[in-house]
Amino acid sequence: MMRVSRDSSRGEHPKWATPGQHTSPADLVDVPNQVCQAGHMTATALRVRARLGLRRDLPAPAQRRAIREASGLSQGELAQAIGVTRQAVSHWEAGTRTPQGVLLERYVTAMRTLREEA
């Protein structure tokens, strides 16, 4: 996370805080998706990386159906376990839609579990 200095009283645009520059904590704002001085990612960057990791772990549509069928589950049974409708699972397996947010997490977890159990 990089720190930038901003003079909020005059509404100026942020300026990079240079090493040794004295600014009060109230004058500093965080720039998202940057690395801080200690080398840690911001919370936003970590969430983005986690979401990208989930997307990478999501099998291709044809593989999704094959994984589910190999486990012996119907679309309705998988849907009930995830908390969605059978039609949602059907769309995901056809590739016409992609799960989002918490449903992406649940679906990827279900796919991993089914793959491990097969």
Rounded alpha-carbon distances, angstroms, from residue 91 to 21, 27, 54, 71, 104: 55, 49, 18, 19, 13
pTM of this structure: 0.61
Domain ranges of the chain: 1-57, 58-117
User: Beta 2-5 vs 15-16: how paired, if at all?
Assistant: antiparallel
> What's the pLDDT at 98?
94
> Is it the case that residue 49 has pLDDT exceeding 70?
yes
pLDDT of residue 106: 95
CATH of 58-117, one of 3.20.20.450, 3.30.70.20, 1.10.260.40, 3.40.50.300: 1.10.260.40
Phi, psi of 30 (to 5 degrees): -85, 140
Q: How far apart are CA 56 and CA 35, in angstroms?
A: 23
pLDDT at 53: 82
At residue 40, the pLDDT reads: 64
pLDDT in tens, 62-118: 999 999 999 999 999 999 999 999 999 999 999 999 999 999 999 999 999 999 987
Sign, Cα dihedral of 15, 16, 21, 26: positive
The 10s digit of each residue's pLDDT in 28-44 is: 444 444 455 555 668 88
